[in-house]
A and B are shown apart, each in its own frame.
Chain A
Amino acid sequence: MKEFIDQLVLKWGYDPAQWPLTEALYIAGMLVIGIGLTTFGAVFAGLVSWWERRVAGRMQSRVGPNRVGPGGLLQFAADALKLILKEDLIPDEADRLLFRLAPYFVITGFILTFVVLPFGYHLSATHMNIGLFYVVAITSLVVVGILISGWASNSKWSLFGGIRAAAQVVSYEIPAGLALMVPVVAAGSLSLHEIIRAQGGWPWDWFMFQTPMGYIAFFSLFVSLLAEGNRTPFDLPEAESELVAGYNTEYSGMRFGYFFLAEWGNLWVMSAILTTLFLGGWQVPGVSMAQLTAWEASGQVPFYFYLLSALVFCAKVIVLVNVVIWIRWTFPRIRVDQMMSLCWKYLVPLGIVLVLATAGVELLSFEYFGEQAKVQAPLSSTRGMLHFGFFAVAGLLPLVIFIVKTFQNIRIAGERVDLTNW
């Protein structure tokens, strides 16, 4: 953005360093980006709320919202309008200041992640060299908000929800952090764009399929992020059947809406982190890093590459979002003690082993493959063949089994599966 404004000012015939209005333009640019990203977060959260309800409807052999707009697409706008118009109730005995404050923590922790999250090649608000660290740090704000809301509501159910959320999110940040270290060690950088550049466009170049450690770390991180995002089977803080509504029991109106905005928006954050770290981010299949660096050296990255990379990135994110939605409407909820033992007994030791193994393997492959270990491996090379073999076993095989099983189930269920009734 800064370069863009500088060039613009130069074009108008002023020197950006001297012209007094440059600073104002910078601020305006930042505002535009900020408002744009916030709007994107809000609209995505709204759309995914509609999409989730439609998917849930299909999965539960009912219809779901389909009245407002085409296919019910504008349902989220109607919901938002309703929530805004509703009375903002604060319970008599509540801690008024903290009660009002809590949703802002949640929403801030969610929106600020967009500062570093990439949307495509060169498409992100900043190129922070500690981007991943920043994401982990800023998402911790959410749990502060949830804890405050649980405390300030002065309701026992809310308190249960808040305490559960604190225990859960703080615990699961440790396996998440350890699993994050696997791609970081492999890429040798904390910058999200650098991590993506260390991968490739084809699935066997992704960190998920480069090593078994990456493969396991993907699932470990996936589970941890589910837990951090309070999604089923880890939706203990707002367990409807146990805690009424958990930490947001006493909330109403738009403050309640904020909690849900952040929850649905977190789907994007979560999937974008996974895509970036393990699924090759915005890397377009067919465009190798050598090609890209050649374009960059000549200063002529074609426009369609920006577009394609954004498309690829969003497609991967949306697939992951769908998987999360399927999980939510498939699984029961686990119990508090099971949640804790899963984290501390299994995921944390696993994460430590994964980080150590990745470091060891990186060291070995660096010795064996030399400098090549840091760049994309062509399919014909030994490394490329190894990656492809692992991808075939770990990636294609489960996918094929999944598809075969699905068709089996459809065949058993027989005439009741009507895929056209949408």
Chain B
Amino acid sequence: MALDQLILTKFGPEADQEMILNMGPQHPSTHGVINFIVQADGEVMTKAVPAVGYLHRALEKIGEIVTYPGYMPYTDRIDYLAAMFANEGYALAVEKLLGLNVPPRAQYLRAISCELNRIASHLVSAGTMAMDIGAVTPFPYALREREWINDLLEALCGARLTYNYHRIGGVAFDMPDDWMPLCHKWLDHFDKILDEWDRLISTNEIFVQRLAGMGVIPLPMAIDYGLVGPNLRASGFDYDLRRAHPYGAYPDFTFEVPIGKAYAGRAGVVGDCYDRFYCRVLEMRESVKIVRQALEKFPGGEFMAAKVPRKIRPPEGEAQSRIEAARGEMAYYIVSDGGERAYRVRARTGSFLAMGIIEELSKGLMIADLVALIASLDVVAPEIDR
């Protein structure tokens, strides 16, 4: 829908009395190119309508044009902060179509790479959230740790942002010989960093006061809007695909699923912005646990399934895969007509679902709160538009 049409349909004649403010797509804290059309009475918003589509690259359509293995690098671009998950989801769906069994070593490598990527993604999310609230210092601290993860993943797969690591039937490269001690060193270091992070920003009084009881998503509303991942769990619902419907190597690991418990203290409400922030911080701790267990139980064997055909032509049919990505449940739906290229590729992502709730939540919030709300929902522009 064109922008002027959107304004006409979404904002009634009462908009004449109030200010219509165009927030984005170049606004510093809309996390990429997202546009919000804000109707505000002074600082208080009546409505904030997201206008998405600035980063639409027709990635799903591309999936119908390129071959199955050829689509793998494109999935990186679906969510550039957590590219591993998009890789894994796509690989899982195609493997389901082919009926391939992935060797355990590859599954463990997938789990390790995904959990490291989850930490990296949550670090960016928590860091930008602090920055949107006005504290600039935590952000470089988070990015410093992310750099280290990038180094680790680079040693694993040769890329720092768009990994293109997972393959249909396994992963692209085996773990280098000297990689495990490097990873252990970082994990030991990162435990202290998380404590430091809590001292630095999570317990900061101004930060807590800004977020406590703000942008509350009650559980029924979260389910109605189809929120997924940390956003849903922060509303107090214990649902994590890694445990509810385990895939890959996840049945082997024990970990907690952090859910929202009004962490902000007296002023906190279950499902407020602070819960969403803090759930992510806790999830980083759980991811560290998972990576430790995976390194401990790391199996031998092949890192690629033996029977992957050179030309992948799945039999006619359809398959769906669901994984717990950094921004919540990510689902791939692939229809095959028996050819070399998919008939239809569909990706379902968490950020897009999170965008839907903003219009209702923004009623009565202040403009400063909208920024915090967007940050707490952890939306990433390419994942919304694909």
Interface residues of A (CB under 8 A from B): 56, 59-62, 156, 160, 163-164, 232-233, 235-236, 239-244, 329-338, 409, 412-414
Contact = CB atoms under 8 A, between A and B. Distances in A.
A166 to B, nearest CB: 13
A163 B210 CA distance: 21
A59 B201 CA distance: 14
B196 A60 contact: no
Nearest to B199: A409
A192 to B, nearest CB: 33
B140 A60 contact: yes
Contact of B210 (A61, A243, A329, A334): A334
Contacts, number: 84
Contacts of B136: 56, 60, 329
Contacts of A330: 135, 137
Contacts of B175: none
A333 B19 contact: no
A372 to B, nearest CB: 42
Contact of A239 (B135, B196, B209, B368): B368
Nearest to A415: B189
B210 A332 contact: yes
Nearest to A163: B42
Interface of B: 19, 21, 27-29, 42-43, 130-137, 139-141, 144, 192, 195-196, 199, 201, 204, 206-207, 209-210, 366-369, 371
B137 A160 contact: no
Q: Which 6 A-B pairs have the closest CB atoms?
A: A333-B134, A332-B135, A60-B140, A241-B29, A332-B133, A332-B134
Nearest to B22: A156
Given A61-B144, A334-B209, A335-B368, A412 B27 contact: no
Given A56-B136, A412-B192, 15 more contacts: A60-B137, A156-B19, A160-B367, A236-B368, A240-B28, A244-B28, A331-B134, A331-B206, A332-B134, A332-B207, A333-B134, A335-B366, A335-B368, A412-B195, A412-B196
Contacts of B366: 335-337
A336 B210 contact: no
Given A241-B371, A333-B133, A414 B210 contact: no
B130 to A, nearest CB: 7
16 contacts: A60-B136, A60-B137, A60-B139, A61-B144, A163-B42, A239-B134, A241-B28, A241-B371, A329-B136, A329-B137, A330-B137, A332-B130, A332-B134, A334-B210, A335-B210, A335-B368
A333 B209 CA distance: 11
A118 B136 CA distance: 34
A61 B209 CA distance: 27
Contacts of B28: 240-241, 244
A59 B368 contact: no
B204 A336 contact: no
A60 B136 CA distance: 8
Contact of B206 (A164, A332, A336, A337): A332
A336 B134 contact: no
Nearest to A338: B209
A61 B29 CA distance: 23
B368 A331 contact: no
A333 B201 CA distance: 12
Contacts of B204: 331-332
A332 to B, nearest CB: 4
Contacts of A163: 42
Chief secondary structure at chain B's binding surface: helix
Contacts of A337: 366
B21 to A, nearest CB: 5
A414 B192 contact: yes
A61 B368 CA distance: 28
Contact of A413 (B43, B196, B371): B196
Which of A160, A232, A332, A409 has most B Cβ within 10 Å? Answer: A332
A243 B371 CA distance: 10
Contacts of B141: 60-61
B140 A241 contact: no
Contacts of B368: 236, 239, 242, 333, 335-336
Contacts of B27: 244
B137 A59 contact: yes
Nearest to A414: B192
A341 to B, nearest CB: 11
A409 B159 CA distance: 35
B144 A413 contact: no
Contacts of A413: 192, 196
A59 B136 CA distance: 10
Contacts of B367: 160, 242-243
Which of B130, B133, B192, B209 has most A Cβ within 10 Å? Answer: B133
Contacts of B210: 332-335, 338
Given A330-B135, A337-B366, A414-B192, A242 B371 contact: yes
A281 to B, nearest CB: 32
A331 B207 CA distance: 8
Contacts of B134: 232-233, 235, 239, 241, 331-333
Contacts of A335: 210, 366, 368-369
Given A160-B43, A329-B136, A241 B209 contact: no
B80 to A, nearest CB: 21
A336 B43 contact: yes
Contacts of B195: 412
B152 to A, nearest CB: 18
Contacts of B139: 60
Nearest to B208: A332
A164 B366 CA distance: 13
A120 to B, nearest CB: 35
Nearest to A330: B137
A331 B135 contact: yes
A233 B134 CA distance: 8
B29 A242 contact: yes
B201 to A, nearest CB: 8
A334 B206 contact: yes
A145 B207 CA distance: 31
A233 B192 contact: no
Nearest to A159: B19
B200 to A, nearest CB: 9
A59 B144 CA distance: 13
Contacts of A333: 133-135, 206, 210, 368
A199 B192 CA distance: 47
A232 B137 CA distance: 12
B70 to A, nearest CB: 39
A244 B207 CA distance: 20
A59 B140 CA distance: 10
A219 B368 CA distance: 27
A233 B196 contact: no
A331 B136 CA distance: 8
